[in-house]
Each structure stands twice: as C-alpha cells, then as structure tokens.
Amino acid sequence: WRNWKIIWVAPVLYAVVGGIEAVIAGSVVGGLLGGVYNSGFFRMSTWIPFVWALINALVLILSSFAIQGGL
C-alpha cells in the first residue's frame, strides 16, 4: 500500500517512451520514403506516409509478443 500513490508513473513513462519511439521511427521512415519518391521524380500522396505509419505500428505491436516463429 505504500507504492500505490506512485503507480501512475508507469503508464506515463510508457507513453513518453512510446511517443519518442514513434517520432524517431516516423522521421526515419518518412525521410526514406521522401528520398525514394524524390529520386524517382514521383509525387507522394499524403496517404502513403500514413499507411507506412500504420504498418510500422502493427509490426511493433506484433513483435512485442513472444510467439514462436514470429517476427
């Protein structure tokens, strides 16, 4: 019962670390996509980075589980 007042720190810490990871991963993937599309002289829709962000989030969620033969 002594530590129940500080237990709220864990979700906040997870949210902060997740936010930092999202910014770094989004910047790297966005930079790579932008470079590939600019080098090929293509126009990139605003949906393409959004879809890649969803794929990145799903890969992170799937890789967080301990599944035999998984990612």
Q: What is the pLDDT of residue 67?
A: 65
Q: What is the pLDDT of residue 12?
A: 87
Q: Structure tokens of 58?
A: 């799903």
Close Cβ partners of 30 (under 8 Å, ≥ 6 residues apart): 49, 52
What does the alpha-carbon distance between residue 48 and residue 33 come to, in Å, rounded to a whole number? 9
Please give the DSSP secondary-structure letter assigned to residue 4: T
For 7-66, how does the pLDDT look when each residue is reduced to its tens digit (9 = 90+)? Answer: 888 888 888 888 888 888 888 888 888 899 899 998 888 888 888 888 888 887 777 777
- Confidence band for 70, pLDDT divided at 50, 70 and 90: low
Residue from 49, 58, 48 nearest 30 by CA: 49
Please give the DSSP secondary-structure letter assigned to residue 69: T
Q: Structure tokens of 53?
A: 């962000």
pTM score of the predicted model: 0.63
